[in-house]
Amino acid sequence: PQTATPSAAPSTPGPASSPGGFTVLIAPGLTKNPAARPIESLLMTYFTAINAHNFRQYASTFLPSVRRQLSAASFASGYQTTRDSDASLVGIGTSAGHRLAATVTFTSRQQAKPSLGVTGCTYWAITLFLGQHGTGFLIGAEPSGYHPYHHACN
């Protein structure tokens, strides 16, 4: 699978908060990267939308080519009980396809569904593959074979 090459190891990040109250931490080694603040803004919108169960806001964080593939029903089914927290931007790099890639860690809490392998608390480390949009970024399609890392919280 293709993954981003992190440009900094996780450490004690500095917080920023969206108007909706969602906080994204940026690893100190990334704060001087010119892409860090626009990515932080995107992540705050993305996670705020998930926590508010707001499909329109969630869809707005994706490139139009990906947005066309999203559905409100799928979003509701996948995120209806989800509450994300503790998000950190821990890496900014490029993917094998030369796209900007942001590595993010976070915790999600949701209704457990043991028969589907869904736990009540999951730790995630994901890479979002980004495309330029105006002065910021939007989330693009994942490359073939990409799989996010996740495990049940301890």
Q: Are 90 and 62 in contact (CB under 8 A)?
A: no
State the pLDDT at residue 19: 52
State the pLDDT at residue 2: 39
What is the full DSSP assignment across 119-152? -SEEEEEEEEEEEEETTEEEE-PPPTT---EEEE
Tell me 97's DSSP state: T
State the pLDDT at residue 98: 75
Residue 136: count other Cβ atoms within 10 Å of its Cβ.
Answer: 14
Residuewise pLDDT in 10s, the chain (154 residues):
334 434 343 333 444 444 556 899 999 999 999 999 999 999 999 999 999 999 999 999 999 999 999 999 999 999 999 999 999 999 999 987 778 999 999 999 999 988 778 889 999 999 999 999 988 999 999 999 999 999 999 7
